[in-house]
Structure 1
Amino acid sequence: MIIMGVIVAYLLGSIPTAVWYGKIFHGVDIRQHGSGNAGATNSLRTFGRKAGIIVLVIDFLKGFLAVLSAQFLFSDTDKYLPLMMGLTAVIGHLYPVFAQFRGGKGVATALGVIAASFPLTVIICIVVFFILVFLTKYVSLGSMIGALAFPIQVALNVWDVNPKQDPYYLAFACVLSLILVFTHRHNIQRLMNGTENKFGAKK
């Protein structure tokens, strides 16, 4: 059952929302336009607000539903299976089998995983994200710092999300946040070079 759950989560995460949206409605591969990223931000910049919202919502639901399906369909299998399936869904988004293993950066899908696993912690993550984007106009910076806010909350037991101080919960939070930082490694380089795109800036 654990293997089945992980496979289901990976296939769910592998749905390449931005790629399919671009090909169906615009006849182009979004990975060849804008930043080249198959995610909500590049969809917004390349295809407009409607595309950005649709991609964001569906990518969020991929992570959210992966965790919920584990909680409801495989509830008697392993108490850590929801975390495993959530993490696998993010990996599926990064390396989708349905899109030549070239996916997005996993922010929206990871946000869905966090929302389903630790509902209250997602509030601070989102607040941190918007504050950083508002102050700096860098979506990538907001995404990374917002991601790092997740394991900090689990470590400090904010909202009593980890009442028994389970080390697996903290390990999960750290791995998930580090994955998101890793997927933004090129953005980090551009931030250091001063060449990163700012949100809302005209080309």
Structure 2
Amino acid sequence: MEITLIIAGFIASYLIGSLPTALWYGQAFHGIDIRNYGSGNSGATNTFRVLGKKAGSIVMAVDIFKGWTATSIAAILLHLHAFTEPNLITYQLFIGILAVIGHIFPIYANFRGGKGVATLLGMVLAIHVEAALLCIAIFFLVVLLSKYVSLGSMIAALAFPLLLLMPRFSPDDPILIIFGFAMFAIVVLTHQKNIIRLIHGEESRTNIRFRKK
């Protein structure tokens, strides 16, 4: 019974993460496949770049909510006694990662999705809300100052495990710190092209404060 519940939770998390918010929004309100424009990714960053502030904000909010909702499945499984409370963070990580994988490789969109940063943020919000909120503040500060969403994403991803090393935010399970650094490494890997463009001064700037479209 427990194994069945856990497997069902894993599948549900992947399916929730697979919801292609940017793709569906672009098709419904602008009649385009967002993956054919900008960076070619189906995520919030490319939506900001191609469709503007309003569309980007909506897509980002929904993608964050996807990660939070999927990761919260772990709390439901705990309530159903599928596992014991000391294992909660471990299951939150496994279930949340499946949502991020779903966003990157969505079954509803021929496995062509985004980079998963917003969904990842929703995941950490469900696990450690204080550190996650600070990371959100860091993200927006970096983007407002630099106009680079990719740079904000990478710095915010690094900030998460660094915050967890501080006594104020130290988690009960050290596996969360290990995950945080692994998460940062993955974000860097998925932003390799952005890093190259940043180095060469070719990365697109996104003015999330003033742009209207």
Q: Residues 5 and 74 of structure 1 are in contact (CA less than 8 Å); yes or no, is this contact kept in structure 2?
A: no
Q: Match of 2:26?
A: 22
Q: Match of 1:137?
A: 147
- How far off its partner does 1:37 sit? 1.7
- How far off its partner does 1:119 sit? 0.4
Alignment of 1:1-203 (within 5 A): 1-75=5-79, 76=81, 77=83, 78-79=87-88, 80-160=90-170, 162-163=171-172, 166-200=173-207
- How far off its partner does 1:100 sit? 1.2
- Say which SS state the counterpart of residue 123 (structure 2) adopts: helix
- How far off its partner does 1:40 sit? 1.5
- How far off its partner does 1:93 sit? 0.5
Stretches of 4+ aligned residues off by more than 6 angstroms: none
Aligned alpha-carbon RMSD (Å)? 1.9
Instruction: Spell out, residue by residue over 1:112-156, the C-alpha distance to the aligned partner (whole angstroms, 9 max, x if none).
Output: 111110000012212221222222221111110101111112233
Distance of 1:34 and 1:142 partners within structure 2 = 18
Distance of 1:4 and 1:172 partners within structure 2 = 23
What is the one-letter code of the residue matched to 1:125?
C
- How far off its partner does 1:52 sit? 1.5
Gaps in structure 2 of 5+ consecutive residues = none
- Say which SS state the counterpart of residue 158 (structure 1) adopts: coil
Gaps in structure 1 of 5+ consecutive residues = none
Distance of 2:185 and 2:168 partners within structure 1 = 20
| TM-score normalised by the chain length of structure 2 | 0.86
Distance of 2:19 and 2:8 partners within structure 1 = 17
- How far off its partner does 1:110 sit? 0.9
- Say which SS state the counterpart of residue 120 (structure 1) adopts: helix
- How far off its partner does 1:91 sit? 1.0
Distance of 2:139 and 2:103 partners within structure 1 = 20
